[in-house]
Structure 1
Amino acid sequence: MARAVRGSKEKGAPDIVIERARAKVKGIVQGVGFRPFVYQLASRLQLAGYVTNTPEGVDIEIEGSPEKVANFFKVLVENPPPLAHISSLKWDKVPPRGESQFLILKSQKRGERSTLISPDVCVCHDCLREMMDPTDR
């Protein structure tokens, strides 16, 4: 679903085609900087919409030119954040809303949690101290 938007009030100005996509991303996508990464990518591509955590993973809606929307998903899949792992990304076109900014929304907590848990990437200082101290058991 795309919508043509008049580029300018001048006669003969080209129309700009805008589309919106809604995506559900599953995998290791929480606790790894995924939402800020999506925000930065969408901002760099001048896309509007939002990203939010859900019990199943992450939901994204983006709006902009068809080329930028396609590029967004290409970059997201080919170059995700270093600690993230996308196991599934499904998206559909939805009607554009005419939004002009991209937001990180508060996490949704409804529903059964099924997102993958990210592995610990380092041991905290307290745990290291405890492991090295035989009297701290």
Structure 2
Amino acid sequence: MESYLPYFLIFIGVGLIIFLTSLILRATKSKSWEKTSGVLLDKGTRLHISRDIITKNIDWKSIHIDVQYEYEVDGKIYISKRVTFSDMVNKPMSCLNKLLNEYLSTNKIIVYYNPKNHGDSVLFPGATIWNFTPMITGVIFISAGIFLLNS
């Protein structure tokens, strides 16, 4: 019986890379989005803790920036939480502290919003290294699938 695992791994890897590439393209386009002033409603960090179901031991911890802001476009108020297009990537604490302390140290902020969809916004437009690092995972999945096919 032939195993579908190699094909599944390749499929997951390619899907991940396609998703991340589309996110990078959106991040790049956001550099040309319209700007408006906004107000920070809430900012801080949020600790995610994963526990093993059986032993109740902590498997891993991650810290994320937790921000909420509002802005107005054409008389309508929008509320958003996106800081960057790499919010879903775990970053070092030094990077998170820099965002919180240096860039989000005031309540008045600049918000970049999509002119075609005013509810789509970001505080820091453009792609960064953090948009590219998760692609390593996709490459690992593809490589594992190819390795299994060849063995």
TM-score, with length taken from structure 1:
0.28
Structure 1 or 2: larger helix share? 2
TM-score, with length taken from structure 2:
0.26
